[in-house]
Amino acid sequence: MNSLHTLLTGILASRSGRFGLSMVLFHVLLALVSPWLVPYQFDSQSEIINHIGPSLQHWAGLDTLGRDVLTRTMLGGRQAILVTLLATCLALTWGGFCGIMAGYKGGRTDEVIMRGIDIFLAIPFMIFLLLVIATFGNDPVVMILTLGFFYGIGFVRLARAATLDVVVKDYVLAAKSRGEGTFSILFREILPNVRDVLLVESAMRWSWMLLAFSALSFLGFGVTPPTPDWGLMIASARIYMALAAWPVLLPMIALSSLIIGINLTADALAKSLGLDRSTRVLL
């Protein structure tokens, strides 16, 4: 609890951090409570002609099928946020552990892990993702595992680089001399000292996963219609944008505001922890 309070205090210390965290919390809370707030069912079609503009009955107008745009936008982030949050946690867990293990053990362990990482880095991400979805389907569990695996590769490299700086410290050498086990050293000596950089990177990976998830829906490989999703809404309405902009603009604003909020929060967190994001290890 004390660590969480410290992190929150650091984020809230800057105006941009407060603004970014507010946007993130707004979207997360909206995703939780939106089923009870929306004025219509997400798949209900109005008898009014489609593409009608904003009105008292439909504050953001109707889409091409006569569905309420505001309702679908409010519900559109639920699956994206859930899938990408779980995928981020998965990526952080396995990637952080493998990276710390590679940096601490060195030698053959480091060589095997990093050469495996190099193999997957040679595969274009979107092709890899589309291949998995085409083979196993677009079930949320498949999306979580795929995004979590691929984006965890960046955590491996980052955690390894951070561990190499820590493993030569006196407190790690003292733990080794006391005969402490590998896992004791990893979780008690190394992890607390690389945690901050992993947390900042987690925020960045989350925003990247959100973009990737929305891109898949935009291409028709993500969320299945008629389930509301921001990327799917943009894809289905973009060809009519010259006639009606609101079915495209509202989900675009929702997605971009969440991405901006995550980035501002990550920036504020990095500054409060004394980290320079420009020097982080890139995927």
For each of the domains in the chain, give its residue range(s) and CATH number, in order of start.
Answer: 2-279 (1.10.3720.10)
Q: If you average pLDDT over every residue of the chain, what do you get?
A: 84
**Maximum mean pLDDT: which of 147-151, 170-174, 215-219, 276-280:** 147-151
40: left (phi over 0), alpha (psi -120 to 50) or beta: beta
Q: What is the DSSP letter of 49?
A: P
Alpha carbons 23 and 268: distance in angstroms, whole number: 14
pLDDT digits (tens, 9 = 90+) for 74-132: 888 899 999 999 999 999 999 999 999 999 888 888 899 999 988 888 888 888 888 88
CB 193 within 8 A of CB 166: yes
Cβ-based neighbours of 60, under 8 Å, separated by 6 or more = 54, 68, 69, 70, 73, 246, 250
For residues 155-175, average pLDDT: 88
Give me the pLDDT at residue 33, please.
Answer: 92
Residue 121 CB burial class (10 angstroms; 0-12, 13-18, ≥19): middle
- Exposure of 85 in the CB half-sphere (CA atoms within 13 A): 12
Cβ-based neighbours of 69, under 8 Å, separated by 6 or more = 58, 60, 61, 62, 63, 233, 246, 247, 250
CB 243 within 8 A of CB 51: yes
- pLDDT: is 62 or 259 the higher one? 259
Alpha carbons 182 and 194: distance in angstroms, whole number: 16
C-alpha to C-alpha distances, 84 to 134, 145, 204, nearest whole angstrom: 19, 10, 12
Q: What is the pTM assigned to this prediction?
A: 0.87
- pLDDT: is 42 or 271 the higher one? 271
